[in-house]
Amino acid sequence: MLKVAKLCKNLFLVSFLFLMTNCSNEQVLQNDTSQYSEAKLWFNNHKDDYSATVLKYVKNLQWEDAIVTDGNIGEVLEIPFSFEDNLSVSNKKGNLRNVNHRLMFVKDDEKGYKLFYVQIFTDQEKSKILDKNFNYYNIKNNFDGKVFLQELATNITSKIEFRNGNKIMPSLTSRMAEEVIECVWLGYWDESGHFEPIELVYCDGGGSEELPTPGYGGSGGGSSSSGGTTTSTTIAQKIENRIVSDNLKPCQKEILEMLKGATNADIASMFTKLGTTKIYTVTFNAENPIDGTPASTTRVSQYNYKIQISNDYTSATNLFRAGNMLHELGHAYFMSIKDDYSSTTPPNPAVFNDFPTLFKGYVEKKYPNMYDAHHIEMANQYIDAIAVTLREYNRYADPNGTVPYQVYTDLAWGGLKGTPVFEEKFPLGTPERLRIDNRYAAEQSGNPVGYSSGQLQSAVGKPCN
């Protein structure tokens, strides 16, 4: 009787830790072909619909080793796999080790399945994470490590950390801090044990409330959020937290960090004003765009974008660089809107290089089928979001606010030069157009522009070397 009582107590503790109702809610099913044949057929028919980085490098899906469980969100299939060419994953420091990869399939009435990428990291060399009893519904009592879960249709990720089988939650004060964020990279381990990253897979913001299933092995499944309401503000903050800036030059990185850390109007507040509804990843690189522009944004994969900041334009001011960064972050947001409408069918890649088309998608997100009536209104909203953030960034140099707000709006409009909405609002030859052109050119060159035009503009920003 004592043994039975002790067993029941242990089962109760496990169910409490993982928000499971009881052991009868989880069942490891016997593996046979019929258990995974439907998922395999679905995956073969739909894998090309996904643009997730991880799927480009999958070498061997081990269907015969499928882990099939059933519980309170229904049947879950986990398929172990390996990467091609000895690739592995870790963070840039190389302190995420001993990884086990799985694709996880969860039944979905609308799409057939929801597809997840599961990574299990542990410092325990002999941890039996290949065991069928280590699965979505069950984590071993003595497990030390981290489990990452990425939904491949949205790129939303969640990280759950365990110590001795217990789920470790970050403190309330650190949930938005940088140390909670962890970026996972594809790369290689060399003979000395050094990890060489080559391509970003995703960055995690530390929370799991956005996932349609609340979290691997810990939250017990379910079809709705268990972590509270996710607002545009919290989503915007998570996007800001996931911005990768390791590859920027010192001055460029300092500008970006100041934009992120501004007190009253930072990058997150700009995203909130624009109306972000989906979490995505942005990576900044100090490299020259192929079109010779000061900055450029490209789509790496769904909800994963790269912003190039040119190493040229060495006379440009910090205010010019800050405006470039904010404009390109807006560009990335517009790309995410296009990705929202392309979650199952890959879009034409050319769409992502056409800013007017992306801007039209931004307008129609709020005003469906009413682009012509509202595009100027939405352009003004976009410009104001950037201008307010620029002004807040420049408070360190202009604490008394002596720089006119028009300087910041003109810089923001300068980033839209060449687009139909800009040409319509500021026709060539008008004083307003000349003022904006000269302001943009002055901050780009660091010199006064327009001595003989009647619209002389002198640089407000400082050199960024």
DSSP 148: E
Q: Minimal CA–CA distance to 459: which of 444, 445, 443?
A: 443
Convert the pLDDT of each residue in 302-338 to its tens digit. Answer: 889 999 999 999 999 999 999 999 999 998 988 888 8
Tell me the H-state helices in 306-354: 318-340
Q: Minimal CA–CA distance to 336: which of 414, 269, 265, 275?
A: 275
pLDDT above 70 (res 4): no
pLDDT above 70 (res 18): no
Residue 336: its pLDDT value, please?
A: 86
Task: Check the CA dihedral 89-92-98-102 and report its sign.
Answer: negative
Residue 102 CA to chain centroid, in angstroms? Answer: 21
pLDDT above 90 (res 219): no
Q: Minimal CA–CA distance to 250: which of 177, 205, 309?
A: 309
Whole-structure pTM value: 0.60
DSSP 149: E
Q: State phi, psi for 149 to the nearest 5 degrees.
A: -130, 125
Q: Half-sphere exposure (CA, 13 Å, Cβ side) for 268?
A: 22
Tokens of 454: 């009647």
CA distance 3 to 118: 35
Confidence of residue 1 (pLDDT cuts 50, 70, 90): very low
Residue type (1 letter), 80: P
Q: Minimal CA–CA distance to 243: which of 233, 230, 253?
A: 253
Tokens of 434: 């000349």
Residues listed for the chain = 465
Which residues is 305 bridged to in the sheet?
Answer: 282, 299
DSSP 367: S
Mean pLDDT throughout 432-438? 96
CA distance 56 to 61: 13
Confidence of residue 415 (pLDDT cuts 50, 70, 90): confident
Which residues is 299 bridged to in the sheet?
Answer: 305
pLDDT above 90 (res 259): yes
Confidence of residue 365 (pLDDT cuts 50, 70, 90): low
Convert the pLDDT of each residue in 104-152 to its tens digit. Answer: 999 887 778 989 998 888 866 555 556 676 787 777 667 788 888 888 8
Could you tell me which residues come within 8 angstroms of residue 269 by beta carbon, excluding any fewer than 6 positions away? 236, 388, 389
Tell me the H-state helices in 341-430: 355-366, 371-393, 405-414, 420-425
Report helix, strand or coil for 450: coil
